[in-house]
Chain A
Amino acid sequence: MFGIPSEFLVLVVAVVAGDVFLRFTRHGRNLVMTGASHRAADAAGVPAMRSIVAAYALAGALAGIAGIMLAVRYGSASMEYGVGYDYNAIAAVLVGGTAIGGGHGSATRTLIGLVVISAAQTILLLRGFGIEWQQLITGLIVLAVIMLQTKVGRK
């Protein structure tokens, strides 16, 4: 479509839908509040249990969409295709600055984390470093971002 891979369009739609959901819908706000404080959410009448079930269901659905896109790209399916995406996905979320303790984060942030990690990996590849350096650099970025965050939080 206009020379843009359809997978990219899926990503854009997912990010926009994710942020609209988190920011402007009741269920999205409930989800953020549940993450910020489960007990406070319960006390405020937010169905925290339902938010948690919904979060896992969403994670499963999105992973399913990613799996379909991989299968379409390769024209086949295998248990091995997803290997390596798991840790990189967590890394992107962390680099984007979503709090691992919950209650803080957005889809746009994760997109930025994703761009940082994939840009670093692509640049390395173009400069002639092998695949083996990509993981090392990703790890260093994750560690650096996390350590920077603590300084920001403490001032």
Chain B
Amino acid sequence: MKATLSYILKPGPHRPFLTLLLCVVLLTILDGGQGRFLNLNTLRSALQTFATLAPIALGLGAAMLIREFDLSIAGLFGLAGCVAVLTGMDAPILSVLAAVLVGTVVGLIQGVVIVRLRLGSVGVTLGGLLICAGLALVISGNRIIGYDNMDVAILMGERMFGVFTLRSLIALGCVVLFAGAFHFLRYGRDAIAIGSNRQAAAATGVHVAAITIGIFALSGMMTALSGSLLSYSLASASPTGLSDVLVPATAAAILGGVSLGGGAGGPLGVAAGVMVLSVLRAGVNAIGAPPFVNDLTIGGVLLVVAIIDGPELARRLAELRKPFARPSSEPSIGS
């Protein structure tokens, strides 16, 4: 029993999948045999959330893997939707490509600035976030823009192979591509080397600058892809309303075993992490709980995983107990 428990608690590549399994079991128990959770509708609904979140989480996960962070996705997501909808009346595929190009260029610029000027990625991508969000507001005139090409919107909503849609198939394709590049090419090992120790990686001949710039470009590309496809499927684009993807994507990457300290994680784990969020969201709705329960559950799961993931949990707990246990210790707040 103790061995199983420590295996479950131990961070590793299997953990995201165990979290997913635990969530499914938990929701099935909460459902109480009424069949509201375990059915195809829940899976369909979960896959729609997965389709939006997975590409973004993959890109952000890659950035976190090399110990950087990409805040700009929150702005880029809305911007890509606006670009795709504003240009895409007649040639939807071309305008998705245009939006993806915008995302890639934004990512490239940020990557070059971070690498060449040796700046922290949080500050640079915060600038990128505000600029992208501002651009989206400017080109849309601070309005929600409707998309009149209903054929495309209907095509986006069409079911394929029972549970999939075009968007979720594209998202799954992204997962496969990322996993392939991560496991079978040298990019995965290079990225982990950079995240673990940048100087050491550079010394062993890893192209640190090129890979860092490439990952930021990739992150922008994935965000723009997801943003433009979501706007098509909703038949509208909003410069502000759709921007709430940064927090779920970060949560998914962390649940997927990507450490904020860099150097640990992989695309399959991130995909499982996204699925945990998607299943929780769909499941909590399916069993008829009020919407805010969704945020509470996700927050709770994330907190537990973050605490368990802390390196040397036992040692830290002991350390924490030390200063607080002393009866003479004075409060350190509000002096």
> Are A135 and B134 within 8 A (Cβ)?
yes
Pairwise interchain contact B123-A142, C-beta atoms closer than 8 A = yes
Contact A91 B126 (CB under 8 A): yes
Select B126's contact among A27, A90, A131, A137, beta carbons within 8 Å: A90
The interface residues of chain B lying within 8 Å CB-to-CB of A53 are 332
Q: Is the CB of B323 within 8 A of A49?
A: yes
Take A50-B332, A54-B332, A139-B134 as given contacts and tell me if A87 and B129 are in contact as well, using a CB distance cutoff of 8 Å.
Answer: yes
Q: Is A32 an interface residue (CB 8 A)?
A: no
Find residues 52-76 in chain B having any chain A CB closer than 8 Å to their own CB. Answer: none
* A143 with B333, Cβ < 8 A, contacts A131-B137, A136-B135 known: no
B175 contacts the other chain (Cβ, under 8 Å)?
A: no
Q: Return chain A residues, CB-CB under 8 Å to B334.
A: 58, 61
Report the interface size for chain B: residues with CB under 8 A from the other chain. Answer: 31
- B128 in the interface (beta carbon within 8 A): yes
Contacting residues, chain A, for B335 (C-beta < 8 A): 21, 25-27
Chain A window 109-140, contacts with chain B (Cβ cutoff 8 Å), 1 for yes, 0 for no: 00000000000000000000011111111111
Chain A facing B: main interface SS: helix
Q: Is A101 an interface residue (CB 8 A)?
A: yes
List, in ascending order, chain A residues with CB within 8 A of B172's CB. Answer: none
B120-137 interface bits toward A, Cβ cutoff 8 Å, 1 = contact, 0 = none: 101110111111111101
The contact size tier of chain A is 35 or more
A147 close to chain B: CB less than 8 A:
yes
Q: In residues 34-57 of chain B, which contact A (Cβ within 8 Å)?
A: none
A-B residue pairs in contact (CB < 8 Å), sample of 7:
A26-B335, A47-B323, A49-B320, A49-B323, A133-B137, A139-B127, A139-B131
Closest 5 CB pairs of A and B: A136-B134, A139-B130, A143-B127, A132-B137, A139-B131
